[in-house]
Amino acid sequence: TTLRTFQELQDLWTQDDALTIEVIKATDAEFHYNVKRCRYAETYREMGLGHIGHLLSCNRDGVFCTGYDPRISLERSQTVMEGASHCDFKYRFSDRLDTTPE
């Protein structure tokens, strides 16, 4: 796997306007984008579950990329789900696997 093959999955994530995104950087080592509109957040709010939407959807983002390839990491400081104007996704690919215990 590579970060490029991971980027190709984005078509699945944005399908049917589920997410409206703005790609900031797309290289072999970094993939940064902002989610400007999140229909998942909108749906959870409509269902009265906005306060736990981040637990149901956003929490899986970091483990998803690690499951795809442990050399991919995610940094994100804010989410639409938790009231921010946008989600700021910053994926990074490392040629070395981090084996440092947490």
Number of domains in the chain: 1
In a domain, 100, yes or no: no
In a domain, 101, yes or no: no
Range of the structural domain that residue 31 is part of? 3-93
More confident residue, 95 or 26: 26
pTM: 0.86
pLDDT band per the 50, 70, 90 thresholds, residue 13: confident
More confident residue, 24 or 13: 24
Q: Based on the number of CB atoms within 10 Å of its own CB, is 63 exposed (0-12), middle (13-18) or buried (19 or more)?
A: exposed
List pLDDT tens digits, range 49-87.
Answer: 999 999 999 999 989 999 999 999 999 999 999 999 999
In a domain, 63, yes or no: yes
* CA dist 12 → 15, 27, 53, 98 (Å): 5, 19, 20, 28
